[in-house]
Amino acid sequence: KQEVTQIPAALSVPEGENLVLNCSFTDSAIYNLQWFRQDPGKGLTSLLLIQSSQREQTSGRLNASLDKSSGRSTLYIAASQPGDSATYLCAVNSGAGSYQLTFGKGTKLSVIP
Amino acid sequence: DTEVTQTPKHLVMGMTNKKSLKCEQHMGHRAMYWYKQKAKKPPELMFVYSYEKLSINESVPSRFSPECPNSSLLNLHLHALQPEDSALYLCASSLLAGGPNEQFFGPGTRLTVL
């Protein structure tokens, strides 16, 4: 059974700092991995999708990497801004016939002005 | 249009009420999903529809009844809910069900059961 872990559970950084969020998964047989952002009480916004054959994806100040063999992904946020404050969820799409995303519990990010 | 919409945004209902949640997408996706998310927890899959047919029911109580009237629309009918059913209900869609298909999520419906 796939398990996804996100460390740290919460992170507080001053504005302007670069930061890294970590995600690890137990079964390397994945189709892809998605990073989502969730604001309090809101839905999920997809940030980046990395297919299993890819090593990284970039969108603006965000860069996500994937090391499938070691079961790890990182989300790098450059020059953090207060508007980046949210919970970041990592979700893995596993295996043939699998319909569901397995989510981590998220990292709550606070960027202090 | 890369948007999944959900209505209503908020819903308060009593345990004897019957209500419905609605989800719509116009991206031509043929898979649609219902997730339930409790506070400070990750989303949990409830149902998956593929080509308007129910593919997955994750042992959800019968007081939740999904319906997919067409390829763009997904409903969740609610009846005789319990206070512990209060949660954020998220709808998602993907081009196809399963496999390497990206899921797109709606903003959710915040449900409170009194």
pLDDT, position B23: 98
pLDDT, position B2: 65
Contact A43 B90 (CB under 8 A): yes
Nearest CA in chain A to B48: A99
- What is the rounded distance in angstroms from the CA atom of residue B16 to the CA atom of residue B56? 27
Contact B110 A49 (CB under 8 A): no
Pick the residue of A53, A87, A99 with the most B CBs within 10 A to test the interface with B by mutation: A99
pLDDT, position B58: 80
Please tell me if residue B66 touches chain A, with a CB cutoff of 8 Å: no
For B60-76, write each residue's pLDDT tens digit: 999 999 999 999 999 99
Cis-peptide, bond into residue B8, ω within 30° of zero: yes
Q: Do the Cβ atoms of A88 and A9 come closer than 8 Å?
A: no
Nearest CA in chain A to B5: A43
Section A39-57 average pLDDT: 92
For B13-31, write each residue's pLDDT tens digit: 988 889 999 999 999 999 9
Owner of token pair 């504005």: A15
Mean pLDDT computed over every residue of chain A: 93
Take residue A9 and report the two structure tokens written for it.
């559970």
- What is the rounded distance in angstroms from the CA atom of residue B85 to the CA atom of residue B21? 14
